[in-house]
Chain A
Amino acid sequence: MKNIYVLAEHRKGMLRDITWEAIAAGRKLSSELGAELTCILLASQPNTMSENLSSEGVRVKVVNDPIFETMNSEAIIKVLKEVLTPSGSYVLLMGASNAILDFAPGVSVALDAALATDCFSVETREGKLFASRQIYSYKINSLVSFKDSERVVLTLRAGSFPFTTSGGETKGAIENVACPVDSTSLKKRFVKYVEAEKGDVDISSADIIVSIGRGVGDEPDLDMFKSLADSVGGVLACSRPIVDKNLLPKYHQVGTSGVEVKPKLYLALGISGAFQHLGGIKGSPLLVAINKDAKAPIFRVANYGIVGDLNEIVPLLEEKIRSLKG
């Protein structure tokens, strides 16, 4: 593989964090394979973003066109095909985000490349590329390779490739490329962003959920739990008794009778683990439970557990999390 490419993801003029994680993975591969790392930025007002990338020593290829105000899959597939086809063999890295899920498979077909999505690790052995991903309801780890593909597209699971800044000593070159496609003739068009209504938290698509149950007591300090959820960038959800007590609205309820969720982290606070509730969190890869009852069934299915008093542990946990985030 001669080249490592990273496609930058942005929204509303800002790079998304996952781009940096893809760059971290790209750096690892480029050093292992001795290949050059280039970040591809398709944007309508790219300057700040390209500067950001460049300042990390990353070479940047910029396509500046109004169509790239958003991540329009049709335009991205067409442009990447034009831009990357001359490159011979390469690995294209992207974050496994909802925006990128819209075009990564199409890109792989357009580039005649092999694709592995949602990889949590990538490695090389004697110049051969391997990726690890999860299959069967996230219960099985699968190590895959790419036959003899000259081109490989990988999307990377958020949180799996920690990025550290290079210190900004050398700047990456910024190369501007004219947009090779006619953006006025697209069959797929962005209309507008739609924000979920205020209060209308969609826990079903949340990646991190802090969920409270009966064990929080009759008059829980909801702010304490909300604050913990904020600290991990998650949303607050609950089990049925909390809704019954009118502490949270119904659409916060996780369970077979409420909302079924598939977060990457589920933090169960004071939830005993009734099957109706557990039925709603199937396939959560990381389930952490805190409960004062050591015999609570939740501990049978959780990955990590703490037996203790929520009022004591939650503020401490938030404090530690915030300090770890720096």
Chain B
Amino acid sequence: MNILEPADTPILGAPAPAIAFIILFLSISFFFYVMYRRINLLRKAAPDPRFSDIPTRVQRVLVYGFGQWRQPRYLGAGILHILLFAGFIILSLRSLTLIGRGFSPTFHIPFLTGSVGFAYDSIKDYTVLVVLIVCVIAMVRRAVFHPARYDHPGTIGHEHEAYVILGLVSALMITDMIHDGAALKASGLSGEYYRLPAATLASMFMPTNSMPTLNFLHVGGYWTHILFFLGLLNYLPVSKHFHVITAIPNVFFSNLNKGSIKPVKYGVADWMELEQCGVSDLTGFTWKHILDFYSCADCGRCSDNCPANTVGRALSPKMISVKARDYAYEHFPVFDRVAQPGRSERKLVGDIITEQEIWACTTCGACEAECPIFIEYIDKIVDMRRYLMDRGDIPLSLQKPLQQIKKKGNAYGAMKSKRSAWTKDIEEFQIRILEEGEHSDLLFFVDSCGSFDPRIQEITKSFARTMKRANVDFAILGPDENDSGNEVRRLGEEGLFEQVSSHNIDAFQARSFNEIVAFDPHAFNVIKNDYPEPFKVIHSSQFLARLLSNGDLSLNGGYLRDRTVTYHDPCYLGRHNGIYDEPRRVLKAIPGIRYQEMKRSFSRSFCCSGGGLLLWYENEEEKERMGERRVKMAMEVGAQVIVTACPFCLINIEDAIKTTGNEGKIEVIDLVELVDRSMS
């Protein structure tokens, strides 16, 4: 006796295909309506050109979207997610098939017939079981272990969302199992547990062989499955689980210009003429940035790696996405609501995303490096800062250095004419100031810190000595150099960035050189990625690595004296520019070096609290300084020497060594200084 198929079973006298049609029509209509509303908001947002370099985008979708490449950075959760994602892909065919079965009992997706179909049925059945198990593990993990990164501080009504979706997916699996299990039982086949384990498992819970019961389970399982499925589909765009739909597009449209900051507004000839500069409200963000808000799955990996969040500053990147999404759903709802007085008085920028959050960011990029689906934060933060800056609302501690850059081209308030004063400390040889029209092989961009900060001047001098000893033809700009502008731009003062950068560009263009070298990764980054004119620029670590491989330099271990060394990846060298190997190559060229990697290294490096102007920035909320945290991490791996390749990392960590009382136990040194002291 054959079991009754759903398509052949009228419901309350109505033919099943008609019911299927109505349900499908209603739910798909509703789904598309919601999607229309969601996309409509994107259309109101600021423009953002994201269609360049399609091959790279496709590659990203394959590697990070379908390949889930970043998921295993959190191994346990990553594996669970990969399993769920794979299940989702496999079962999507099954879901289509089941929808078709509402119309015809023999519906098949083309190609999924015969032996392929036979195999797919088995794969699908295993998948159902795996997905169900994963859902149970995920729920237990949340309920019992409750990782902190899943919290939603300061908002309400988000904690249940994960359980709703996991519950719905579990219900889908269970109803599928009931549907198939009843058919299996009715077919009388036995010994199928190895081929159809899920269906077999379900059938084991069906003690009866009575056909009406099995028919009921088969048909009932089917319809509840369909209802859950369509319910889930419609739940996605109103919850954090929108990412199921938007994550792949979000990866496709991800930012390909790492290290650079977006212009104030795309497609505007003169941003200075804009009514408003920067972002004060939701639609001020670009459509991609709103897509980011839609796509955030609240996994909290960004905030878990955010150094500002770690030391107790107000910032949590994830909550920016969550709060902005809440704001979007409230102010651009699926159904227009009658405006309630007082409902919309809280402003997105200022009230919901507070000024403290906005200024707390060091732009280290840890959040962006971690996000499995490439949600961006730095550009958004900078856009919001641009708005605050335009109103004149900036932290007091940042005002003075910015004013100084405006007036004098450096945050230190030193006179322009003294920019090359450090050269007088070098007695052994003369450092050439490259005048207009002259040529040198290498233009050494010293930047403000290297020119005026007494500690950083030591790196400047070390680098000059090293270049001299390697017989490199180099020169500096001297008084014609301006602040590089990396932090100026990232703090949102675009006008000032244009001022300093165009000054430097003019200075570069009036001279002839093969490439620019800088030991400050911030200067390196901004010249490489933000300056509108292309210049060949390398970082000191790349330069040193090149000297070593050319045999122009040989090192000895005299300075290190068998001490254990670790390397701190500066954000603007590593994460923003992918330079991880060169500094390590230089270190490993020191004979007999005892090298130990910190747990947080490479793209997981922990920001020391920011360079450039952020050295002046005072944060009231933080309980611990980032540099102190970093010193502890180095000491945990037994390091006695922290080598870095950024002058601001050096200053912050050096400070932290003192404040943590570890003077004499551990030392921090710039790679350039280490090379200078290890030359033989």
Contact = CB atoms under 8 A, between A and B. Distances in A.
Interface string A44-86: 0000000000000000000000000000000000000000000
Contacts, number: 24
Most buried by B among A218, A256, A279: A256
Given A256-B400, A279-B413, A241 B616 contact: no
Nearest to B658: A214
Contact of A257 (B397, B412, B452, B658): B397
A257 B616 contact: yes
B661 A241 contact: no
B616 A276 contact: yes
24 contacts: A214-B658, A214-B659, A218-B661, A241-B658, A241-B659, A244-B625, A244-B659, A245-B659, A256-B397, A256-B400, A256-B401, A256-B616, A257-B397, A257-B616, A257-B618, A275-B412, A275-B452, A275-B453, A275-B454, A276-B615, A276-B616, A279-B400, A279-B413, A297-B454
Interface string B649-668: 00000000011010000000
Interface string B597-631: 00000000000000000011010000001000000
A247 to B, nearest CB: 12
The interface residues of chain A, by DSSP majority, are classed as helix
Chain A, interface size: which category? 10 to 19
A297 B413 CA distance: 18
Most buried by B among A214, A257, A276, A297: A257
Contacts of B400: 256, 279
Contacts of B412: 275
A245 B658 CA distance: 11
Contacts of A257: 397, 616, 618
Most buried by A among B453, B625, B658, B659: B659
Nearest to B413: A279
A42 B397 CA distance: 44
A83 B195 CA distance: 116
A29 B277 CA distance: 63
A279 B401 CA distance: 11
Contacts of A241: 658-659
A277 B319 CA distance: 36
Nearest to A272: B658
A41 B454 CA distance: 54
Contacts of B453: 275
Contacts of A218: 661
Contacts of B397: 256-257
A136 to B, nearest CB: 14
Contacts of B413: 279
Chain B, interface size: which category? 10 to 19
A244 B618 CA distance: 12
Contacts of A256: 397, 400-401, 616
A214 B412 CA distance: 22
Interface string A243-258: 0110000000000110
Given A241-B658, A275-B452, A297-B454, 12 more contacts: A214-B658, A218-B661, A244-B625, A244-B659, A245-B659, A256-B397, A256-B400, A256-B401, A256-B616, A257-B618, A276-B615, A276-B616
Contacts of A245: 659
A1 to B, nearest CB: 44
A218 B659 CA distance: 9
A279 B410 CA distance: 14
B401 to A, nearest CB: 8
A245 B655 CA distance: 13
B247 to A, nearest CB: 42
9 closest A-B pairs (Cβ-Cβ)? A257-B618, A257-B397, A241-B659, A244-B659, A297-B454, A256-B400, A214-B658, A218-B661, A257-B616
Interface in A188-244: 214, 218, 241, 244
Nearest to B412: A275
Contacts of B659: 214, 241, 244-245
A29 to B, nearest CB: 41
A115 to B, nearest CB: 32
Nearest to A273: B454
Nearest to B661: A218
Interface string B144-157: 00000000000000
Nearest to A214: B658
A51 to B, nearest CB: 50
A256 B413 CA distance: 11
Nearest to B618: A257
A178 to B, nearest CB: 52
Nearest to B398: A257
B408 to A, nearest CB: 13
Interface in B448-465: 452-454
Contacts of B618: 257
Interface string A123-163: 00000000000000000000000000000000000000000
A241 B616 CA distance: 14
Contacts of B616: 256-257, 276
Contacts of B658: 214, 241
A257 B397 CA distance: 5
A257 B615 CA distance: 10
A199 to B, nearest CB: 18
Nearest to B624: A244
B460 to A, nearest CB: 15
A240 to B, nearest CB: 9
Interface string A265-281: 00000000001100100
A245 B412 CA distance: 26
A257 B661 CA distance: 23
A104 to B, nearest CB: 31
A43 to B, nearest CB: 42
B452 to A, nearest CB: 8
A276 B453 CA distance: 10
A67 B411 CA distance: 50
Interface string B286-301: 0000000000000000
A206 B92 CA distance: 74
A275 B618 CA distance: 15
Interface in B6-33: none
Interface in B132-166: none
Nearest to B663: A214
Contacts of A276: 615-616
A214 B659 CA distance: 8
A245 B625 CA distance: 12
Nearest to B453: A275
Contacts of B615: 276
Interface in A270-302: 275-276, 279, 297
Nearest to A260: B400
A256 B399 CA distance: 10
A257 to B, nearest CB: 5
A256 B613 CA distance: 12
Nearest to B620: A250
A95 to B, nearest CB: 33
B456 to A, nearest CB: 10
Interface string B515-551: 0000000000000000000000000000000000000
